[in-house]
Amino acid sequence: MNRIVLTPSEVAERWGLKAETIRLKVEAGEIPAFDVSSPSAKRRRWRIAIEVIEAIERGEKPRAPAPPPTATHAKRRRQSRGRRVDFCGPF
């Protein structure tokens, strides 16, 4: 089952706000979201379930949905010739 998730930028466009405003609300805990960035990432990559957005739009207090299962990141493999990088993994 595929869940529909939105980025803070997509939510901001939907609500007529700035993406930074949505990110700040997520980080403050006002909007439940989950982080899909890798553990070593410098910046968090938030995703917000459409159910959360629709609940807020109806005036309800949103419940945080369970985060998706941990994705396997693509493995990078450098070939001996040149600087080409191949990606292998689920896409």
CA distances from 58 to 8, 33, 46, 55 (A): 19, 18, 22, 5
Q: Is the pTM of this model over 0.85?
A: no
What is the DSSP annotation of 55-89? HHHTTPPPPPPPPPPPPPPPEEEE-SSTT-EEEES
Write out the chain's pLDDT in tens, 91 residues. Answer: 567 899 999 999 999 999 999 999 999 989 999 888 888 888 889 999 999 999 999 998 887 766 665 555 445 555 455 555 555 555 4
Strands 46-49 and 85-88: unpaired
Helix (H) or strand (E) holding 25: helix 19-27
DSSP code of residue 35: E
